Chains A and B, each alone.
Chain A
Amino acid sequence: MRPQSEAELAGIIAGATGPFHVRGGGTRAIGRPVAGEVLETGGLSGITLYEPGALTLVVQAGTPLAEVEAALAAEGQRLAFEPMDFRGLLGTSGAPTIGGVVAANVSGPRRVQAGACRDFCLGVRFVDGTGQVIRNGGRVMKNVTGYDLVKLVAGSWGTLGVLTEVSLKVLPVPEAAACLMIDGLSDAAAVGVMAQALGSPFEITGAAHASSGVDGHPVTMLRIEGFAGSVDYRAGRLQEMFADHPVRVERDPDRIRAGWAWVRDVERMHDAAGDVWRISCKPSDAPALTARLEAGTLLYDWGGGLVWALMPEGTDARARLGAFDGHATLVRGSEASRAALPVFQPEPAALATLSAGLRARFDPRGLLNPGLMG
């Protein structure tokens, strides 16, 4: 099914008798496999409103992300939360949609400084599991009028409603960028370096460490962005800060872009066999946690707060991690792994009750991506 309007979508859901597998571009195929008729959002496409001077964009949910990014680029603006492209990691094809980005709350390396996708969502329209159209938030930068369902829906993977329109805050593309690289650090030393940089006044917009970089050796990357003079100044100050290490500085914008896309899209693990786990944790806990994991390959983003781990198929990473401040998601796993292990971290009982309660209210018949989040 591919409704062409919000009203048509609402009608389809209201009159439905069986479950749906809600799909934007179909590129972010994570979660438990969903049995249901495919319900595509691609028919709901187009930019509704774009005011560069107010940094606001209102766009229909099925609009291809590429179209959104092109429109912003034409005005020298961008989605500051730097959404990851899942295609390479998951081996999916198709065109990611903006609704899919929001439904999965997809954020990239800049999350550590600028905020997550959910922080840039100003408003949503969605159709809930009863076929009711619901609006929340709006298109202004500050809004505390009633409950923030925008944040609830962002990251709910289509299980509470099908997004039809989102309003986003966008930001200007800075004039210049630089990437500082330190080679050969241990994971623990790298997390220390990243903490020091992130705790400086120099506004780091990316802090990542690959235990094996493009050339197979460890590399730690720090990004700064802004006006050219300011980037020069901060790059200098950071080099002084890490004078004990040989620091390479990359200033070529294309190479910087490619390097951070490599981190953002977890390229290191694209063609490697095995399951891929995504671990969100307290940054300084990361080295000890990963030591317990015994993973093949590791990529640390967000200063260590986000860890990507490549594990032998079927390994229960959570069993190895034990209890910790954070959660682990099985982002890429064979059908067998995903059937055997919960994809999303099981919640403590009280939270699971609240989540189930919300699902029962927004989708009482269990029609929308049933079982996807567990």
Chain B
Amino acid sequence: MQMPDPNPDVIARKARIVARLQKVLASDAVIHDPAETRAYECDALTAYRCPPLAAVLPSSTQEVSEVLKICHQEGVPVVPRGAGTSLAGGALPTADCVILGVARMTEVLETDYANRFIRVQTGRTNLSVTGAVEEEDFFYAPDPSSQLACAIAGNIAMNSGGAHCLKYGVTTNNLMGVTMVLMDGTVVELGGAHLDAGGYDLLGLVCGSEGQLGVVTEATLRILRKPEGARPVLMAFDSNEVAGACVSDIIKAGVLPVAIEFMDRPCIEACEAFAKAGYPMCEALLIVEVEGSEDEIAEQLGLILQIARRHNPLELREAQDADEAGRIWLGRKSAFGAMGQINDYICLDGTIPVSELPYVLRRIAEMAEGYGLQVANVFHAGDGNMHPLILFDANGGELEKAEALGADILRLCVEVGGCLTGEHGVGIEKRDLMSDQYGAADLEAQMAVKDVFDPDWLLNPAKVFPLDASERRRSLALAAE
């Protein structure tokens, strides 16, 4: 993975830059000793590492603004960071950058049940947002598997999703407003406790912009009343095709499950070995969850099971109690952990039209065989968001091969009408594949947006766009200093 050469001029000014930052922040909030900056050298895409010039941990929007003003004046690239769980290398530093972490900004600023929102500082973790409103039986819907660790800041930057997004939407559908600091230190408010934009939908533009347009410090999030109950059902099929057709029929029938999760044989086997959830051994498993009162659950599950039976399932297992429901989810929830036990893995998240599921799964298996690698699939089937896990041995030098297979799989997703990433973001990982999905003019239009928000291309500059596509802009910015 190529990264631009660090700017030697910035590195040479490290002492001055650090001194200026120390003037506006608490002394323990500026980290510059190489022994300590190492803690920020990577995110969850751990194959790529580079310690930053310095890392700062401001405590308020005002401090973020001060930091950005200094970095702007000094021409220092800034990489915003939440909890560092990005799987795409979105928070990967360069040697000449300042990491701006919002981890100390975790306050709940306002909870408003009558208007159904919560306002938080963005360093707060996803799960603790729900934690703050649970007492009143409310919750924050987007639920990435990393929700215990990941921050709202990263969720907004990546427009993260989760298993329950089929019904409730992803981050952008649940984000009402942000306070954001532009690279020159200007603080802007986008959206708020109201439901739509008065002018251009800049909030919609910022969500998913991977920390390249501004540093988001506060967020107004929609909260929902918890449903009265929820229950999953497990379905086993003897082929991916049949399971795929079943998914499509359920959706068409007008039931809106909160989640439809899909696991293929390699994944089932690994999860079973790891978590012993008692899954049946088969080619494809679906977990379908519905919500409501007891009667509403029964009504929906009745219909879903009726549809499933038309597809000759090997087994249908309806959770009879909370314990059984827990076991149905157990295997799925430990999928990543299970894979991690066996091997190193790369987790992709290309999205495809649901109708292409069987074809894509077959092609992935063929391609994997061609590379001599194993791929396990576990994914959000209701919305076609795949999660092929490519297993490889990093010590055995298989990383490059695994990455090449990953790129082939993502190209396949694009080919069948899908996209490179459904929820993890582009970061550095998929940066160079962007030209497979978008033409030059499409990328140019996106980069033009960055020109408006960050004319000097100092915010997270080497991400999202292929380096050659963004090169002119990045070097102009350098020359302008």
Contacts and interface: CB of A to CB of B under 8 A. Distances in A.
Q: Do A and B bind each other?
A: yes
B383 to A, nearest CB: 4
Interface in B415-463: 417-426, 430, 434, 437-439, 441-446, 448-453
A40 to B, nearest CB: 24
Interface of B: 112-116, 137-138, 158-159, 161, 165, 169-170, 172-173, 182, 186-190, 192-205, 207-209, 225-228, 248-249, 251-254, 256, 292-293, 295-296, 299-300, 303, 351-355, 380, 382-385, 417-426, 430, 434, 437-439, 441-446, 448-453, 464
Contacts of A373: 199
Interface string A345-374: 101101100110110011000000000010
Given A54-B353, A152-B449, A140 B443 contact: no
A146 B426 CA distance: 7
Nearest to A123: B419
Contact of B422 (A144, A149, A171): A144
A172 B299 contact: no
Contacts, number: 256
From A54, A280, A373, residue with most partner B Cβ within 10 Å: A54
A54 B445 contact: no
Interface string A105-144: 1010001100110110000000010001111101111111
Interface stretch (A88-96, A196-204, A211-219, A261-269): A196-204
Given A132-B441, A144-B159, A280-B198, A53 B355 contact: yes
B248 A146 contact: no
Given A52-B252, A174-B254, A357-B452, A142 B351 contact: yes
A361 B204 contact: no
Nearest to B113: A199
Q: Which of A140, A144, A150 has the most B CB atoms < 10 Å from its CB?
A: A144
Contact of B424 (A144, A171, A282): A144
Interface in A54-93: 54-56, 76
Contacts of B423: 142, 144
A351 B182 CA distance: 11
Contacts of B205: 147-149, 151-152
Interface residues of A, number: 82
A141 B385 contact: yes
Given A56-B353, A195-B116, 15 more contacts: A54-B353, A54-B355, A116-B195, A135-B439, A138-B417, A140-B384, A142-B423, A144-B426, A145-B434, A148-B209, A152-B201, A282-B193, A305-B115, A351-B190, A354-B202
- What are the 7 A-B residue pairs with the smallest beta carbon separation, nearest first? A151-B204, A327-B198, A172-B254, A141-B383, A142-B422, A357-B452, A53-B248
A240 to B, nearest CB: 13
Given A138-B419, A146-B434, A171-B256, A156 B161 contact: no
A112 B195 contact: yes
B434 to A, nearest CB: 6
A242 B126 CA distance: 34
Interface of A: 51-56, 76, 105, 107, 111-112, 115-116, 118-119, 128, 132-136, 138-152, 154-156, 160, 171-175, 192, 195, 198-201, 226-227, 229-230, 233, 280-284, 302, 305-306, 325-329, 344-345, 347-348, 350-351, 354-355, 357-358, 361-362, 373
Contacts of B295: 229-230, 233
B445 A142 contact: no
Nearest to B383: A141
A355 B200 contact: yes
Q: By CB atoms of chain A within 10 A, which of B159, B351, B421, B434 has the most?
A: B351
B360 to A, nearest CB: 12
A227 to B, nearest CB: 5
A96 to B, nearest CB: 19
Contact of B420 (A111, A145, A345): A145
A345 B197 CA distance: 10
A171 B64 CA distance: 42
A94 B72 CA distance: 52
Contact of B195 (A55, A195, A302, A345): A302
7 contacts: A141-B422, A144-B208, A144-B426, A146-B426, A160-B200, A199-B225, A230-B292
A109 to B, nearest CB: 12
A145 B198 contact: no
Nearest to A200: B225
A142 B225 contact: no
B194 A281 contact: yes
Nearest to A328: B198
A233 B114 CA distance: 23
Contacts of B417: 138-140
A174 B353 CA distance: 23
A233 B452 contact: no
A229 B296 contact: yes
A53 B299 contact: no
A201 B209 contact: no
Residue of B187, B189, B199, B303 with highest tally of chain A CB at under 10 A: B199
Contacts of A306: 195
A326 B194 contact: yes
A258 to B, nearest CB: 23
Contact of A195 (B114, B300, B419, B450): B114
Contacts of A280: 194-196, 198
A318 to B, nearest CB: 11
B418 A138 contact: yes
A148 B208 contact: yes
Given A148-B207, A284-B115, A227 B198 contact: no
